């Protein structure tokens, strides 16, 4: 699962967990510190009460009591009404009774009082020191920790931001923008990746230009000899040789046309010129450039209108129908078309490899021997330029090539 999430998402998750851990840690610390504070107060008031109760047994003088007041920083409450008000209204925190006597601890208006009782003595003491629990130090510590945490998070986000830009530009490059250049000059790992990526782009662009130049020269050099050879073949008297040569030269001419189409489609200046058209118009145009008997094609068309490059889509449809008829034992094809998808169906054996194997410009000898050549590559490129998707399935002894138009 971790392998499938992006680095930025992973960092966000880690920092979210870290922040949660910090928050829980501070909450636990505050709870612990409060308990520690309460125990400390309890021990203090227990000490004060026991000292006074012990002193009461010896019938202390005023000076002795005064010394205890000073020692423990407490003051006696002399006003009887004040005592009653505290006993009635204050929060009683604890009551303890032992062999020396009884004492209670009250909190009233954020002030602590110790009420000490022994036979013959009834004394209420006010704690003169401020023992209210303060979270100021903890809040300051939490604020500093939070600031440091957010500061580090922002630094890390800025450090990772070039990776997002790099990823975006790589996607643009894969979508056909060959003029991408990464402008990242830092001498860190991302800078090294950006530098290597720029060098790779330059190499790919140079190779692409060399390939385009080679293809143009090759097509130009072959076009005229093939045309002359086809003309000479027409003059032969031997019909078998004439037919064989014509088919061979026709195939060579088709390959050159395919290469020309590929060169046009792979050019960085490739543009499609969409216009509103009905599918039936595309189909009619396809039949015209195929020059075959329409009886070889069964159709189930629910006509619809869509934005399309008529010329290119006709070429794509032609290549699919050509393949369907060529490899079908009955030399027939079926076309089902609606606004969601176009299906070209034919009898035959299933493909030996996944569709992706055939939709690249042939780089393996097997593709040429299979007879698919550049046809499916051209189809996929045209389909993708329109924002559609080319799919394939084999069902019931039939091959289905499908142009999905649902985006």
- Domains of the chain by residue range: 6-127, 139-234, 271-404
Per residue in 301-328, pLDDT (tens digit) is 999 999 998 888 988 998 899 889 988 9
Residue 393 sits at the vertex; the CA angle it makes with 390 and 397, to the nearest 5 degrees, is 140
Per residue in 108-155, pLDDT (tens digit) is 888 889 999 888 788 899 988 876 666 677 778 778 888 888 888 888
- Per-residue model confidence (pLDDT) at position 266: 62
Mean pLDDT of the 376-386 span: 87
C-alpha dihedral sign at 230, 234, 238, 239: positive
Mean pLDDT is lowest, of 27-41, 185-199, 305-319, 382-396, for 185-199
Mean pLDDT of the 366-387 span: 72
- Per-residue model confidence (pLDDT) at position 160: 76
Choose from 79-83, 211-215, 229-233 the range with maximum mean pLDDT: 79-83
Residue with structure tokens 């060399």?
210
The two three-digit tokens of residue 225, written as one number: 């000899």
Mean pLDDT of the 193-202 span: 80
Tell me, which fold does domain 139-234 have in CATH?
Answer: Helix Hairpins (1.10.287)
Q: What percent of the chain has pLDDT over 70?
A: 82
The two three-digit tokens of residue 187, written as one number: 């001498």
- CATH code, 271-404: 3.30.565.10
* Nearest-angstrom CA–CA distance, 162 and 386: 31
Q: Is the pLDDT score of 400 beyond 90?
A: yes
- Per-residue model confidence (pLDDT) at position 29: 83
Mean pLDDT of the 223-239 span: 72
The answer to whether 377 and 359 are in contact (CB under 8 A) is yes
The answer to whether 104 and 114 are in contact (CB under 8 A) is yes
The answer to whether 114 and 128 are in contact (CB under 8 A) is no
Q: Is the pLDDT score of 365 beyond 60?
A: no
Mean pLDDT, the chain, whole residue set: 81
Cα 191 to the center of its chain, rounded Å: 23
Per residue in 163-174, pLDDT (tens digit) is 777 778 777 777
* Nearest-angstrom CA–CA distance, 344 and 347: 11
The answer to whether 227 and 219 are in contact (CB under 8 A) is no
The answer to whether 309 and 386 are in contact (CB under 8 A) is yes
């Amino acid at each position: 699962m971790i392998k499938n999430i992006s680095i930025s998402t992973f960092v966000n998750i880690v920092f979210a967990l870290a922040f949660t851990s910090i928050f829980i840690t501070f909450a636990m610390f505050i709870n612990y510190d409060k308990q520690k504070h309460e125990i400390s107060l309890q021990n203090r008031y227990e000490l004060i009460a026991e000292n006074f109760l012990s002193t009461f047994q010896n019938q202390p003088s005023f000076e002795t009591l005064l010394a205890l007041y000073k020692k423990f920083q407490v003051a006696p409450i002399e006003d009887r009404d004040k005592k009653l008000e505290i006993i009635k209204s204050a929060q009683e925190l604890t009551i303890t009774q032992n062999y020396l006597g009884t004492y209670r601890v009250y909190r009233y208006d954020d002030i602590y009082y110790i009420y000490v009782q022994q036979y013959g003595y009834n004394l209420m003491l006010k704690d003169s020191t401020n023992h209210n629990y303060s979270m100021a130090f903890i809040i300051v510590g939490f604020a500093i920790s939070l600031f440091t945490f957010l500061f580090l998070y922002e630094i890390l986000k800025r450090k990772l931001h070039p990776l997002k830009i790099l990823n975006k530009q790589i996607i643009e490059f894969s979508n056909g923008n060959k003029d991408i250049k990464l402008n990242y000059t830092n001498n860190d790992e991302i800078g090294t990746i950006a530098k290597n990526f720029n060098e790779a782009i330059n190499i790919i662009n140079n190779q692409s230009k060399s390939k385009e130049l080679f293809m143009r020269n090759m097509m130009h050099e072959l076009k005229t000899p093939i045309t002359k050879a086809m003309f000479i073949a027409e003059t032969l008297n031997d019909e078998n040789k004439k037919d064989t040569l014509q088919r061979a030269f026709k195939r060579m001419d088709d390959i050159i046309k395919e290469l020309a189409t590929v060169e046009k489609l792979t050019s960085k200046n490739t543009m499609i010129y969409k216009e509103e058209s009905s599918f039936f118009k595309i189909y009619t145009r396809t039949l015209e450039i195929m020059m075959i008997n329409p009886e070889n094609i069964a159709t189930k068309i629910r006509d619809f209108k869509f934005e399309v490059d008529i010329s290119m889509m006709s070429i794509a449809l032609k290549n699919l129908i050509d393949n369907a008829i060529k490899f079908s034992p009955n030399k027939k094809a079926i076309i089902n078309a609606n606004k969601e998808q176009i299906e070209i169906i034919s009898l035959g054996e299933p493909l030996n490899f996944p569709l992706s194997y055939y939709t690249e410009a042939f780089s393996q000898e097997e593709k040429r021997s299979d007879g698919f050549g550049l046809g499916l590559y051209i189809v996929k490129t045209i389909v993708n330029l329109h924002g559609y998707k080319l799919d394939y399935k084999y069902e019931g002894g039939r091959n289905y090539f499908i142009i999905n138009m649902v985006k």
